[in-house]
Each structure stands twice: as C-alpha cells, then as structure tokens.
Amino acid sequence: MTAPPNAAAPGSNTDLVELYRGMRRVRTFEERVGELFVRGQSAGSMLHLSIGEESAAVGFVSLMRDGDTFTTHHRGHGIFLARGADPKRMMAEIGGKEAGYCRGKGGSMHIADMGLGHLGANAIVGGGIPAVVGAGLASRHDGRGAISVAFFGDGAMQQGILYESMNMAALWDLPVIFVCINNQYGMGTRIEQATRGRALHERALAFGLNAETVDGLDVRDVREAASRLIDAARDGRPGFLAIECYRFFGHARMDKSPYRSEQDEQEGRARDPVLFARQALLDSGQADEATLDAMDAGIAAEMDATIDFAAAAAEPPLGTMFRDVYAPGEPEPEAVATRIDRILARG
C-alpha cells in the first residue's frame, strides 16, 4: 500500500513543508467554496466550512494508506481534499454539476468516492459513524490491513450511535478509529453548554479503546497522535482521537455566529494552525518568506481554477436524475407527466 498524494514519510525533514502545503490547499479551497456560495453558484442553500480545522484533516489523513476507508460529516471538504481528491471535481460537485464526484447529486454534504475510500459524507449528525464499523469488520476478515476512520464533530458526541459503534469496535477488535474534530461549537451551542465532561477521549477509554486528546494548533502534534492510534488500529486495537480546534466562521455559510463574542472569535482565530505552521517553518529555517509566498500563490491559482471549472461545467441532464440512485438493472421510476399521459391514453 502507498501513501496518499502529497504525504511525506513520517520523520522526514520535509514533513512540515508538506503538511503546510496540505493545510494551505485546504484553507484556500474552503475560501473559494465560500466565494462560490456568495456568487450564488453552489447547489442547495447551505454549506459548512472547515476553516480553522486544517490540522485535523491534514495531520491525520497524511498517514492513511491506499485501501483505507473513511466517512466525514458536515464540514468534510478538507478531509477529502487531504486524502487526494481532485479539487475541480469537488467544486463541481458543490456546484451541483455533472462533472462532480457524484454527478451533482451529492452537493457539499454528500460527496463520496469509493476509489479514494470515501464512504460518504453525511448531513445527519453522527450519521457516518456506524459505516466504519462495517468497513472495519470487512477489513478484518479479508486481511488487507486497512483501517476505517469516522470523522465527526463534537456535536456527535451526544449521539447514541457513537457509543454503540465504539462498543462494537472494541468487542470485535476492529481496525477502526473515531476522530472527533472538536471545534468548540455544535451549531450555536458551546461545548461546555452541551456536556459537563470535556475530556472527550475519556468516554472512549470506558469502552476499552485507545484514546487521546490533542491540541490542533500544531499539525505535527496531530500527526504524532494519529500515528500512534493508526499503528494500533492496524493491529486490531481500535482508537479514538479528539482534536481540539476552533471553527473560524459560523455553523453554515449564512450563520454570522451572533452567539459568539468578538473576544471569543479573536482568541480562537489567533490559534490558526496554518499560520502556526508557516511561522514554524520560518523559525526553523526550513523555508523562507519568498518560498512560502510562491507556494501560496501557486495554490491560490490552482483553487481559482476550480471556480472557473465549476462555473463552466454542464448541469446534469434531467434524464440522469435517477442514475446511481437505484441498483443496476432496476427500472427507473416513471415520470409523472409520462404516467398521466399513459393513463389518459388508456381512456
């Protein structure tokens, strides 16, 4: 099995450069997603950005291999991009276009791609979690050595399906990891208003899982924690990782987060994993300003092209409405107008 695109070998001198590149790509892509929404070119009325959570996506996913599978949640763009997704096809999907990963049917919150092991994003809080139990069971039986990872937000920590899934994973020694990206807010509810116990990993310990909490400010810390849990999971010891981040913007693109104080936002945004990594590169001498500026400019150009691609892409033909919805060989539903014409013709 091989590492995903843009992944550096653990412990290599290029680790932080590549991790920074990955986070900058996620950040810039998400900014362009927001722009697509403002232009009125995104499909549907809602989308959720993961700006501020880049270390969680890149730090963990950089260690996944070909054959590994995963599910994501409301704000899963960055995770899928870090896994090697084509940003043009992603943007086309978010725009509801035929060139998208799901031919425009999935939109922002239901992107999937079996080729990259993406079992699907899910707009139901915690909805993607149980799928990794099945995937982990399949992996254990076929001996591929693959893991399956459920990414979800802190809001899902109050969902019963998580606890059923953790219990089954522990009982059956499945190669599964549950990754909670704790961005401090479940929609508009601050984490301490939702739960008394904020050491989220302790809940997983009670089920017998390996479990840790890591500060998401430094992507290298995330990657080190991920490495420990992934190695154990491949040996049949399931795990749980809570990654502490801060959601820079509202729950959805139109949410101006009136429930947060200006001081809260200022303090949260000061803990920027992308800027932290950039400064670490400069301080360590691994890169200079000119090199990083050139890298950022190249990424900006790459992501600018995603909007142009999505805008120019064709809408899905009406006749493909039910394609990939029903099993192969199943007859497609009859259009209402056709059915009415057929019934009237009988009379």
pLDDT in tens, 36-49: 988 888 987 778 89
Residue 34: both structure tokens together: 């927001």
Would you state the pLDDT for residue 347?
A: 59
Kindly state the average pLDDT of the residues 204-211: 97
Would you state the pLDDT for residue 327?
A: 85
Would you state the pLDDT for residue 14?
A: 52
CB within 8 A of 49, min separation 6: which ones? 30, 33, 34, 75, 77, 248, 249, 253
Distance from C-alpha of 110 to C-alpha of 118, rounded to nearest angstrom: 10
Q: What is the value of pTM for the model shown? A: 0.89
Distance from C-alpha of 282 to C-alpha of 25, rounded to nearest angstrom: 19
Q: Is the pLDDT of residue 66 over 50?
A: yes
Q: Is the pLDDT of residue 279 over 80?
A: yes
Q: Is the pLDDT of residue 197 over 50?
A: yes
Q: Is the pLDDT of residue 254 over 80?
A: no
pLDDT in tens, 50-60: 999 999 999 99
Q: Is the pLDDT of residue 278 over 90?
A: yes
Q: Is the pLDDT of residue 21 over 60?
A: yes
Would you state the pLDDT for residue 116?
A: 95
Q: Is the pLDDT of residue 332 over 60?
A: yes
**Average pLDDT in the chain:** 91
CB < 8 Å & 24+ apart, contacts of 46-49: 46/108, 46/109, 46/252, 46/253, 46/254, 47/94, 47/107, 47/108, 47/109, 47/252, 47/253, 48/74, 48/75, 48/108, 48/109, 48/251, 48/252, 48/253, 49/75, 49/77, 49/248, 49/249, 49/253
Distance from C-alpha of 106 to C-alpha of 76, rounded to nearest angstrom: 13
Kindly state the average pLDDT of the residues 283-291: 97
Kindly state the average pLDDT of the residues 170-197: 89
Percent with pLDDT over 70 in the chain = 95
CATH topology of domain 15-318: Rossmann fold (3.40.50)
Backbone angles phi, psi at 310, to 5 degrees: -65, -40
Please indicate whether residue 9 or residue 84 has the higher confidence score (pLDDT): 84
CA angle, 212 then 84 then 112, to 5°:
85
